[in-house]
Amino acid sequence: MGTVATLYGVGAAGAALLQARQVLRRGSSCEVSARFFATYAGGYAVWLLYGLSIGSLPLILVDAAGLLCGLVTFAITLSLRGSLLRPSSWRTCPPRFRLDHRRGWLPRGVRFVAMEASNGEASGQGAGGGARTAVLEPTDEPRVDRAEQEAEHSKLPHLWASRPWPVRIVLATVPSAAYGALCGWVLGESEIAYIILAIPVAILLQLLVGLEHRNRAEAAARGFVAGASFGGFILIVNQLLIDTEPKFHIEDPKWQLAIVTAVFGAGLAWLGAGLRGQLEQPGRYLDPSQVSPAELAGMAASLVLLGSLWLPWYATSGNPNSVIDSSGTGPNSDASAWEVFATFDWLLLSACAAPFILTWIIMRGHALSWSPGEVTMIVGITCFVLILCNGVVLGKPEPGIEISLAYGWFVGLLASVGIIVGGYLRQALYTDARKPPGTL
């Protein structure tokens, strides 16, 4: 019975494609409700999340099919109204033909009006008189307002304020809630995956949210709501629906996570709105041609340093006393920098951003009071010294009994040298040297 119900559910979910086939045949979607298909797909999305949380295969199959078919039909409905990427066209219908019983098929938006001919024309018609001529006259049927079609070929996201209010509400809550639900599930599975999704990826997505706004206050308000939904659904899925032990420690009380994500979401969206203002200014915003091999080498080295944090840095021997207290590592095992350190790993993680910041400055053409590359070189030197201190100068992690350096430590050390080389090449070879004081 379960198999039959699942097959019927999948077939019923696919019935939405029949409507998509019908509107494609007609070449118009003005007779169907786009809001219905948005709600239709949203309902399946919620049930799909629930099915994933309880691990129910029938629910997952049926709701995945319904979500896919609903989104396809919704996309076809909007695309036939103008453009899938321009919400200003969603509430309008393109010109179509209508049947006039006297004149045949006429373009929608015009109609024939009979007018009395002039005296000269009437006399030329003979004794019949009363000649009439047909002219085209615009009707009051809705047309697409060109003033609402802004930046059709723009590469920037469409403005959130130009969308209908139901769509605004959905965009402000549903995507962030769905992404928070995904992060909540990952929180119970993998610490590394959760950190990647909940920090750098979430920051990038929230900046993209801000790009849909010109008004910073409006962007901050939407970012606050989206951030609260994101943090709230992380807790709802992890603590209530699947009830698993978080792989990443969240401070008590856990509800404060929603407040933190709301505040950061407002700030990131505010920055994104400011970034849009800069992108809309005339001229090139970024000039990739200014990037030299020095920046590429520095960014590659920083990515290697980032990856080395999860490689084995220290290894223990077979001695029962050869352990690493900070990571709980026992004999005949190894530990990564991320497991051993509490603060040092975050310092190295921050240092990885230096080459990327340098590349951004160069592509933007910002004027600096120092030679570009000097700060990056200093950051690399600092990383090199700190890594040496936590392996050679100050010794191994406590208690330090028969603990050896693993290959991850050497990879991190070489990566810091790569950051130094990238900064040095930029300020020494690819930048005009500054003249000594007192020279002309």
pLDDT in tens, 219-232: 999 999 999 999 98
Residue 98, pLDDT > 50, answer no
Identify which has the larger pLDDT, 79 or 274: 274
Residue 343, pLDDT > 50, answer yes
Please give the helix or strand (H or E) that residue 388 lies within, else none.
helix 374-388
pLDDT band at 116 (very low <50, low <70, confident <90, very high): very low
Please give the helix or strand (H or E) that residue 205 lies within, else none.
helix 202-210
Residues 231-253 pLDDT 10s? 989 888 888 777 778 888 887 78
pLDDT band at 155 (very low <50, low <70, confident <90, very high): low
CA distance 307 to 318: 27
Euclidean distance between the first and final Cα of the chain, in Å? Answer: 91
Q: How many CB atoms lie within 10 A of CB 46?
A: 15
Residues 164-201 pLDDT 10s? 887 888 888 888 999 998 888 888 888 888 888 888 88
The mean pLDDT of 274-280, rounded to a whole number, is 82
CA distance 15 to 24: 15
CA distance 8 to 65: 11
Please give the helix or strand (H or E) that residue 335 lies within, else none.
strand 334-336
Q: Indicate the burial class of 367 (C-beta count within 10 angstroms; 0-12, 13-18, 19 or more).
A: exposed
307 with 414: CB under 8 angstroms? Answer: no
The mean pLDDT of 83-107, rounded to a whole number, is 52
Residues 17-40 pLDDT 10s? 787 777 777 777 777 777 787 788
Identify which has the larger pLDDT, 268 or 151: 268
CA distance 379 to 419: 8
Reference 163, options 243, 61, 88; nearest CA is 88
Q: How many CB atoms lie within 10 A of CB 43?
A: 14
> What is the fold, at CATH topology level, of the domain defined by 288-428?
Butyryl-CoA Dehydrogenase, subunit A; domain 3 (1.20.140)
* Boundaries of every domain in the chain: 1-93, 97-138, 158-283, 288-428
CA distance 271 to 284: 19
Identify which has the larger pLDDT, 125 or 45: 45
Look at the chain and count its residues. 440
239 with 250: CB under 8 angstroms? Answer: no
pLDDT score for 86: 57
Reference 87, options 179, 176, 170; nearest CA is 170
Strands 97-100 and 110-116: unpaired
> What is the fold, at CATH topology level, of the domain defined by 1-93?
Monooxygenase (1.20.1280)
381 with 261: CB under 8 angstroms? Answer: no
Residues 70-79 pLDDT 10s? 777 777 777 7
Residues 280-314 pLDDT 10s? 777 666 777 788 888 888 999 999 998 998 889 89
Identify which has the larger pLDDT, 129 or 329: 329
| Phi–psi pair at 404, nearest 5 degrees | -110, 165
What is the identity of the amino acid at 147?
A
Considering the chain, what is the average pLDDT of its residues? 77
Q: How many CB atoms lie within 10 A of CB 64?
A: 18
Residue 392, pLDDT > 90, answer no
DSSP3 helix / strand / coil % (the chain, rounded to 5): 60, 10, 30
Q: Indicate the burial class of 181 (C-beta count within 10 angstroms; 0-12, 13-18, 19 or more).
A: buried
Identify which has the larger pLDDT, 396 or 219: 219
The mean pLDDT of 99-115, rounded to a whole number, is 47
CA angle 392, 356, 293 (to 5 degrees): 90
Residue 262, pLDDT > 80, answer yes
pLDDT band at 121 (very low <50, low <70, confident <90, very high): very low
pLDDT score for 127: 46
pLDDT score for 385: 92
Question: Does 288-428 match 1-93 at the fold level?
Answer: no
